[in-house]
């Protein structure tokens, strides 16, 4: 074994680093595993802001924030988790600010807050439009200040279960080669999302669902896997994110006829309707022939150069670099792209999973705060609030237990499996199957879902998994920076998760949040589907069951709210 720690955090984005800091401050010896340098984690790509009911811009409260989140989730969010989240968010914002997070301010010195989609008050705290970048630097400073051990460029491959609990992680050492085992009395998964299952996505290349796949293979339940949020404004043709902050500052969406089309779909909220509504509206315009090259246009010209340069400098730079358009002078082509996965490893309110010693936080986890649709600005806040809670719970458990024992057989099995992967000499390259997966998912399980397309996609995924089993050739047999090998492993993760997503999607015969079936089940069906889907891996395939949503005071049946 390479080393052992009280708490081992897998992933070094906002959730992972916040968990590590909290566990350390609770007295635990902490190690962090990351396949990237921490400041290269995908949290750094978050742009628009982080939600907390500070009430600086208008009247607000944790209760109003909670209701907006419940309603935005299409009532599938677990309300006890949402109430914890909205109650603790303001304190977490102030702590980040005291650590040095350089948030934008109002003229009176208070933290500025901008409006975001489906929010009852302007509650999104922001640092221009590079909020995630600022947070990840601040958290990394705190990690370094505490001298927390980081196993950089360690690719987490398998969780070690022994004696009925999680006791470590088997990794591939990217820098030096070879398998390394790091033991932990407790393990916190914070590995992020799986947007790379889709061809067009705002997600980094690293977002391949590794943590969820590792948990799935240990028999743990994944929750609400059918819900993939499409962000309405991703740049054509790259899929790079343009923040919701553009619309929060007042940008318009227009079609090929120059019409501000959101007045047809959401006459009150217009461009600041929830993300699922805006994405569906855009796709409807594009499908009706009122798009340009499969896109609509985001128009910021009326905001003026000064406001764009002050509030949206990152968005302007991205537009100029990747679309060749300066938004001060011209509208920018945008379209919906896969952005955020509401589903993930099922956890309790302290990040605990079904397996003793294993916790999860951030996008890999499903608490569920977001239900069927996440509100913009809520995910960065979730990484901090639930990262902190998971870190503390993991530390408290670890400090009251003493042993770490990774059986030699677990390492031997992993070595054998790895050798089998490297020994394949004829077959396909991983990127070929990955391309087919990404293209078909976008086509058959995108903004709108049709029964026949989903059925086709189930067969396509079965075929892709068969191709993967027959053999993926890892041409690079070397030890150092073997990205050929890690991409083959990532592909296996994504294929398994896609199978879970499709099974749950076919079974949910309604339209709710990001799961829209307008052609066969256009309405929400509270009677039959006001429940979470639960996916487990049984005998080489996904098995589906259902679980009740946890309520406190917002009852969708009464429609009082």
Residues carrying an active site annotation? 275
What are 34's strand-pairing partners? 152
Q: Please state, in angstroms and rounded to a whole number, the distance separating the CA atoms of residues 312 and 329.
A: 14
SS3 98: helix
Q: Please state, in angstroms and rounded to a whole number, the distance separating the CA atoms of residues 87 and 426.
A: 56
| CA distances, 271 to each of 266, 275, 301 (Å) | 8, 9, 15
Sole residue written with tokens 């006459």:
267
Q: Please state, in angstroms and rounded to a whole number, the distance separating the CA atoms of residues 357 and 560.
A: 41
Is 67 within 8 Å of 41 (Cβ atoms)? no
Nearest to 233 by CA among 322, 131, 328: 322
Q: Please state, in angstroms and rounded to a whole number, the distance separating the CA atoms of residues 222 and 345.
A: 4
Q: What is the DSSP string of 419-456?
A: HHHHH--SSB-HHHHHHHHHHHHHHHSSSB--HHHHHH
Enumerate residues 6+ apart whose C-beta is below 8 A from 418: 172, 179
Residue 502 parent element (H or E): helix 483-507
| CA distances, 504 to each of 224, 501, 531 (Å) | 8, 5, 12
């Amino acid at each position: 074994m390479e080393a052992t720690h009280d708490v081992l955090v897998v992933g070094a984005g906002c959730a992972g680093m916040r968990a590590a800091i909290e566990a350390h401050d609770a007295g635990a010896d902490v190690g962090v595993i990351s396949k990237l340098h921490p400041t290269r984690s995908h949290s750094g790509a978050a742009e628009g802001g982080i939600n907390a009911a500070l009430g600086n811009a208008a009247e607000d409260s944790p209760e109003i924030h909670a209701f907006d989140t419940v309603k935005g989730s299409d009532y599938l969010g677990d309300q006890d988790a949402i109430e914890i989240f909205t109650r603790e968010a303001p304190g977490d914002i102030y702590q980040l600010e005291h650590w040095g997070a350089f948030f934008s301010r109002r003229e009176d010195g208070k933290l500025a807050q901008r409006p975001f989609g489906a929010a009852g008050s302007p509650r999104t705290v922001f640092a221009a439009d590079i909020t995630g970048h600022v947070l990840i630097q601040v958290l990394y400073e705190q990690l370094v200040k505490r001298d927390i051990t980081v196993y950089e460029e360690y690719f987490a491959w398998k969780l070690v279960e022994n004696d009925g609990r999680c006791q470590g992680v088997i990794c591939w050492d990217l820098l030096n080669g070879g398998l390394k085992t790091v033991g932990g009395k407790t393990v916190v998964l914070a590995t992020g999302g799986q947007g790379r299952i889709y061809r067009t996505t705002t997600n980094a290349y690293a977002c391949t669902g590794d943590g969820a796949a590792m948990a799935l293979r240990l028999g743990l339940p994944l929750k609400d896997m059918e819900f993939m949020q499409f962000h309405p404004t991703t740049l054509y043709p790259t899929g790079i994110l343009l923040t919701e902050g553009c619309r929060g500052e007042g940008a318009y969406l227009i079609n090929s006829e120059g019409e501000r089309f959101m007045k047809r779909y959401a006459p009150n909220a217009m461009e600041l309707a929830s993300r699922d509504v805006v994405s569906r509206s855009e796709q409807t315009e594009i499908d009706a022939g009122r798009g340009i090259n499969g896109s609509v246009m985001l128009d910021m010209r009326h905001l003026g150069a000064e406001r764009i340069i002050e509030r949206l400098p990152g968005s302007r730079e991205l537009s100029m670099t990747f679309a060749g358009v300066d938004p001060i002078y011209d509208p920018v082509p945008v379209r919906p792209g896969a952005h955020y996965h509401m589903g993930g490893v099922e956890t309790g309110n302290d990040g605990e999973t079904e397996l003793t010693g294993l916790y999860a936080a951030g996008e890999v986890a499903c608490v569920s705060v977001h239900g069927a649709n996440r509100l913009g600005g809520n995910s960065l806040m979730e990484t901090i609030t639930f990262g902190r809670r998971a870190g503390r719970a993991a530390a408290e458990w670890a400090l009251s237990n003493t042993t770490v024992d990774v059986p030699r057989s677990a390492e031997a099995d992993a070595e054998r499996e790895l050798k089998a992967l490297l020994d394949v000499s004829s077959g396909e390259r991983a990127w070929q199957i990955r391309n087919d997966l990404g293209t078909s998912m976008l086509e058959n399980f995108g903004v709108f879902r049709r029964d026949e397309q989903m059925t086709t996609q189930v067969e396509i995924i079965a075929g892709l998994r068969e191709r993967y089993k027959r053999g993926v050739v890892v041409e690079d047999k070397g030890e150092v920076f073997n990205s050929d090998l890690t991409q083959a492993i990532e592909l296996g993760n994504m294929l398994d998760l896609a199978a879970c997503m499709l099974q749950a999607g076919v079974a949910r015969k309604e339209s709710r949040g990001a799961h829209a079936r307008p052609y066969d089940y256009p309405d929400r069906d509270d009677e039959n589907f006001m429940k979470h889907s639960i996916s487990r891996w049984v005998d080489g395939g996904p098995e589906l069951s259902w679980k009740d949503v946890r309520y406190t005071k917002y009852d969708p049946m009464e429609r009082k709210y």
